Amino acid sequence: GAGVSQSPSNKVTEKGKDVELRCDPISGHTALYWYRQSLGQGLEFLIYFQGNSAPDKSGLPSDRFSAERTGGSVSTLTIQRTQQEDSAVYLCASSPGTVQETQYFGPGTRLLVL
Amino acid sequence: KQEVTQIPAALSVPEGENLVLNCSFTDSAIYNLQWFRQDPGKGLTSLLLIQSSQREQTSGRLNASLDKSSGRSTLYIAASQPGDSATYLCAVLDSNYQLIWGAGTKLIIKP
C-alpha cells in the first residue's frame, strides 16, 4: 500500500508569508507526527496527534506554528509570518496505533524562506 | 532533559567489513529506541525498534542492542555493502512520548 505522502515536496516563500504543509498518513494509522530537520542539525519533534487530538504541542517552536488533523487522516502544519530560521525539511510520520510503535516517515517538505 | 549522542559522526570503511555504530542517551526512562536510515533526498526508513524491555533486535545483516541502564545502544552491520551507505539515526521515545534524535552517523562503504 501507499506510504506516507507529503506535499509540496519543495516550497520557496518570502519572509512574512504564511505556508501550509500537508501530510497524508498511511491509511488506518491513528498516530501522526511532525518533525523538523534544520540544515546541519538533528531532527526536532514538533507535535503528534492521536486521532484528531494533539496531546502534546510543546515542541512547536513558537505561536506562529500550528497544526491540525481532521477525520483522523490528513494533517496540515501551518507556519504564519515565516522567518528565515523556519527554513528546514519538515517530516511527517505515522504509526498504526500507539506512539510506541514503529513510525513510518514521508519524504519531507523542503521549505526555504527567502 | 533527554539528550542523544551518536559516535562517530562519520565513518568510511571498505566493503565487506563488519562495523558498529554507537548511540548513547542520558535518561534511561525511555519506552523504546529506534534506528533509522536516511538516504539523501528521501525520507527516513525505520530499521529496528527495541522496546525498553528488550535487549536486542535483528533484521538480516543488522543487529541492534540496548543497554537501558547504561544508556547505550549499538547498531552492528555485518558484511557491509556499498548500498549500506547512508546516514544512520538513533532516536529514543522518552517519558513524554517524544522521539528525541541523535545527530546521526554518516556511513560510507567504499567498493
Give the tens place of pLDDT for each residue, B76-85: 999 999 999 9
Cell numbers standing for residue A8: 509540496
3-state secondary structure of B36: strand
According to DSSP H, which parts of B11-70 are helical?
none
Q: Is the pLDDT of residue B94 over 60?
A: yes
Query: How many Å apart are CA B71 and CA B18, to the nearest integer?
Result: 23
Contact check, Cβ <8 Å, B101/A106: no
3-state secondary structure of B31: strand
* Those residues with Cβ within 8 angstroms of residue A17's Cβ, 6 or more apart along the chain or in another chain: A81, A82
Query: How many Å apart are CA B87 and CA B9, to the nearest integer?
Result: 9
Chains A–B, number of C-beta pairs less than 8 Å apart: 57
Cβ proximity of B92 and B2 under 8 Å: yes
3-state secondary structure of B82: helix
**pLDDT for A99:** 65
- In the β-sheet with B62-67, what is the strand arrangement from edge to edge? B4-7, B19-25, B72-77, B62-67, B56-59
Query: How many Å apart are CA A36 and CA A79, to the nearest integer?
Result: 12
Query: How many Å apart are CA B72 and CA A38, to the nearest integer?
Result: 26
Closest CB to B43: pick one of A99, A100, A107: A107
Among chain A, residues having any CB pair with chain B shorter than 8 Å are 3-4, 33, 35, 41-45, 48, 55-56, 58-59, 91, 93, 99-108
**CB-CB neighbors (< 8 A) of A102 in chain B:** 34, 46, 49
**pLDDT for B41:** 66
Query: How many Å apart are CA B89 and CA B86, to the nearest integer?
Result: 10
Query: How many Å apart are CA B37 and CA B53, to the nearest integer?
Result: 23
**pLDDT for B27:** 95
Contact check, Cβ <8 Å, B97/A105: no
Q: Is the pLDDT of residue B109 over 90?
A: yes
- Over its length of 114 residues, how does chain A's per-residue pLDDT go in tens digits? 579 999 999 999 999 999 999 999 999 999 999 999 887 677 888 998 988 988 878 889 999 999 999 888 999 999 999 999 999 999 999 998 876 678 888 989 999 999
Give the model confidence (pLDDT) of B28-74 as tens digits: 999 999 999 988 767 788 899 999 999 999 999 999 999 999 999 99
Query: How many Å apart are CA B50 and CA B48, to the nearest integer?
Result: 7
DSSP secondary structure string, A36-93?
Answer: EE-TTS-EEEEEEEETTEEEE-TT-SSTTEEEEE-TTS-EEEEE-S--GGG-EEEEEE
Cβ proximity of A4 and A75 under 8 Å: no
Closest CB to B44: pick one of A48, A99, A105: A105
